Structure 1
Amino acid sequence: MKLINRMTLLFFMVTMAAIMTPSVVEAKDWTGALFPEFELKNQAGEVISDNKYEGKWVAYYFYPKDNTPGCSIEAENFAKNHKKFQELGLEIVGISLDDVESHKSFAKTYNVEFDLLADVDKSLSKKLDMVNYLPWPHTRRETFIVDGSGNIVKHYQEVNPKSHVEQIFADLKTLKKQLK
């Protein structure tokens, strides 16, 4: 019995250490790089590739898991502002390791009209070093703003789900002025 209690305590301590450890450990700033090519399914089960967004500005936001508190806040904020982003010439794309069915339910719950991509095999996430394995495999919460040529012009390594949309609105105006 004591062995089981010690093992449970050890498991708990390791899990808590993993949760408390920052997700971003020596994360790379991708600003200036080309956004990788990809082919992933969206919440409708359609195969979406980077070619769909050729010539367009895109915010690719990576998030850990559907239907979790921070991810739900972030998705809802992007969904509420989706039309405003489109008016400014910016497409929104959400990406996580969740599957198509999970994305379908999540999109319905939060009225998401933009693509939520299911990176279940981690193919895109690995190219950008986005996968975090503790306490479960998930992507870090980061966003990449990509211009019409496919260049990453802004990389947000630290994202607050509540204020991220406003941050992108403010930065987008500045970025587009600098690149004209």
Structure 2
Amino acid sequence: MPEVGDQAPDFTLPTTDGEINLSHLTARGSVLLAFYYEDSTPLCSNEISMLKDDYEVVRELGAEVVAISADSIDSHRVFAERLGGVPFALASDEKLDAAKAFDVVDDSGKRSRRAVFVIKQGGRIAYVERWFQPGNPGQYEAIFRALGLDA
């Protein structure tokens, strides 16, 4: 179970923007890694919309956003279109390899829970929230503090 201070487990996944590799991303900067349950569900739509709204702030802090669910790339594309476009990669973790590595598989064993990790440049985990609640201001403040924003 990866915790703050640990080296983040590496993974490579297909995304709506092509293939990504976590260690390649963290070689360039920090990553806000957001696992979510399922495309097009109300709470997950809210989570992705909030990340979309805050994307420019995240980028100004030198970080990239990657959102991950077990849905297919085709499903992600439809979901992104319904949200009016998404400026970050939606990664497909159909075999739950990344979710297992980060210990965020839900009780059904078929999907990931809503969870957020901030991984700093170089790959060390700076923040862990395994039960992310979209709309919880305290969790958002903690995420932005981990990214380096003085809140």
- TM-score bracket, normalised by the shorter chain, equals 0.7 to 0.9
SS of match in other structure, 1:113:
coil
1:73 aligns with 2:49: no
1:116 aligns with 2:90: yes
Structure exhibiting the larger radius of gyration computed from Cα positions = 1
SS of match in other structure, 1:153:
strand
Please say if residues 107 and 113 of structure 1, whose CA atoms lie closer than 8 Å, have aligned partners that are also in contact: no
Alpha-carbon distance between aligned partners in 1 of 2:39 and 2:25, rounded to the nearest angstrom? 23
Alpha-carbon distance between aligned partners in 2 of 1:177 and 1:72, rounded to the nearest angstrom? 25
Query: What is the aligned partner in structure 1 of residue 20 from structure 2?
Result: 48
SS of match in other structure, 2:37:
coil
Query: What is the aligned partner in structure 1 of residue 140 from structure 2?
Result: 168
- The farther-off stretch of 144-153 and 83-92 is 83-92
Q: TM-score when scaled to structure 2?
A: 0.86
1:175, distance to aligned residue in structure 2 (A): 5.8
Structure 1 gap ranges (5+): 1-27
1:55, distance to aligned residue in structure 2 (A): 3.1
Q: Give the CA RMSD over aligned residues.
A: 2.2
Please say if residues 34 and 150 of structure 1, whose CA atoms lie closer than 8 Å, have aligned partners that are also in contact: yes
1:125 aligns with 2:95: no
Structure 2 gap ranges (5+): none
Q: TM-score when scaled to structure 1?
A: 0.73
1:1-150 mapped onto 2 (5 Å cutoff): 28=1, 30-44=3-17, 46-50=18-22, 51-110=24-83, 111-134=85-108, 137-150=110-123
Task: Work out the percentage of aligned pairs sharing the same amino acid.
Answer: 28
1:127, distance to aligned residue in structure 2 (A): 1.2
Query: What is the aligned partner in structure 2 of residue 13 from structure 1?
Result: none
Alpha-carbon distance between aligned partners in 1 of 2:64 and 2:26, rounded to the nearest angstrom? 8
Q: What amino acid is the match of 2:148?
A: K
1:83, distance to aligned residue in structure 2 (A): 1.1
Question: Using a 3 Å threshold, how does the CA distance of structure 1 residues 125 and 158 change in structure 2: closer, same or farther?
Answer: closer
Alpha-carbon distance between aligned partners in 2 of 1:172 and 1:149, rounded to the nearest angstrom? 18
**Alignment size in residue pairs:** 148
